Amino acid sequence: MSRKKAGKGKNANSSPTTGSPKTGSPTGKQKGKTGKSTVGTGSVVQANGMVHPSRPSLSNSSEFYDIAFKVMLVGDSGVGKTCLLVRFKDGAFLAGSFISTVGIDFRNKVLNIDRLKVKLQIWDTAGQERFRSVTHAYYRDANALLLLYDVTNRTSFDNIKAWLTEIHDYAQQDVVLMLLGNKEFGVPYMETSAKSGLNVELAFTAVAIELKHRSMKEPNEPKFKLQDYVNKEMKSAGCAC
Ligand SMILES: Nc1nc2c(ncn2[C@@H]2O[C@H](COP(=O)(O)OP(=O)(O)OP(=O)(O)O)[C@@H](O)[C@H]2O)c(=O)[nH]1
Ligand SMILES: [Mg+2]
């Protein structure tokens, strides 16, 4: 299997993207937390979800990967999508005043799963209604969706149903879906905290394992059970949930 270099993500010219939407380019800009902006470029995405950079990386990242997937963070504005991604990527919590994401943005992270380097290209979407048409165009290339709600915000919980309808309308049928913060709607569930780091690593790792298994499954290999894995990991970490 060929090895590829993982771009750092924040600069469109240095990173592989899926080229969504069809018009070629995207997007809005991410103001605020990271203070950087993203403009998408074209590249090839195979049916199995692997992302192959269509141009050489200009990034100074020296990280290589074997297989890559697109993951999208969706959910109401203010539920903590950007904070969760920053916690996962940089291990830090973005405290202070809330600055809403404008448009869409992404970061890359490479995980070691079963001796393979699995690159997640993680798209952070704006939760505000006015950016919905921008983010819709990105759903179809997503291999996994993390749908977040805020456990302290009833409205964000009530809106989960509408988000699921949106996902049903725009995402691939077999997209890996994880609901963060809720036990209902029949999808794998876990609670996370961008502030404390609770389960952040586990949420993304579980999705990466599921994606890798789906993509490279041996005929007799037992099916990876995402929720079982999450439960087991939380148990062994001594979580009382
Ligand atoms: N206490 C606590 N606050 C959090 C947590 N995650 C996010 N926040 C706060 O919630 C606010 C919104 O977080 P963001 O990550 O910017 O929200 P978002 O979902 O990206 O919002 P949009 O970009 O508008 O879609 C910020 O003030 C964060 O500091 C968490 O786990 N715990
Ligand atoms: Mg945001």
Q: Domain extents for the chain? A: 4-20+29-236
Of the candidates 11, 103, 108, the residue with the CA atom closest to the CA atom of residue 51? 108
> In whole angstroms, what is the distance from residue 84 CA to residue 149 CA?
12
Residue with the bigger pLDDT between 5 and 74: it is 74
Q: What is the mean pLDDT of residues 178-204?
A: 85
Q: What is the mean pLDDT of residues 158-183?
A: 91
Report residues whose beta carbon is within 6 angstroms of any ligand 1 atom.
77-83, 94-95, 98, 100-101, 126-128, 193-195
pLDDT reported for residue 114: 93
CB 15 within 8 A of CB 8: yes
Q: What is the mean pLDDT of residues 37-50?
A: 37
Ligand 1 atom nearest to 127, measured from its CA: 25
Q: What is the mean pLDDT of residues 97-107?
A: 93
> pLDDT category, 236, cuts 50, 70, 90?
confident
Q: Which residues on neighbouring strands pair with residue 117, listed in sequence order?
A: 112
> In whole angstroms, what is the distance from residue 79 CA to residue 54 CA?
34
According to CATH, the superfamily of the domain at 4-20+29-236 is P-loop containing nucleotide triphosphate hydrolases (3.40.50.300)
> pLDDT category, 40, cuts 50, 70, 90?
very low
Ligand 1 atom nearest to 99, measured from its CA: 16
Residue of 83, 149, 193 best suited for mutating to test ligand 1, as the one with most atoms within 8 Å of CB: 83
> In whole angstroms, what is the distance from residue 148 CA to residue 145 CA?
9
> pLDDT category, 71, cuts 50, 70, 90?
very high
pLDDT reported for residue 166: 95
Give pTM, 2 decimals: 0.73
What sections of 51-150 are H helices per DSSP?
A: 81-90, 132-139
Q: Which residues on neighbouring strands pair with residue 144, listed in sequence order?
A: 71, 176
Q: What is the distance in A from the centroid of ligand 2 to the CA of 101?
A: 4
Ligand 2 is an ion; its neighbours by CB within 5 Å are 81-82, 101
Nearest alpha carbon, ligand 1 atom 23: 101
Residue with the bigger pLDDT between 124 and 60: it is 124
> In whole angstroms, what is the distance from residue 198 CA to residue 143 CA?
24
Of the candidates 39, 41, 44, 38, the residue with the CA atom closest to the CA atom of residue 4? 44
CB 91 within 8 A of CB 197: yes
What's the longest Cα–Cα distance across the chain? 51
Q: What is the distance in A from the centroid of ligand 2 to the CA of 87?
A: 13
Mean pLDDT, all residues of the chain: 78
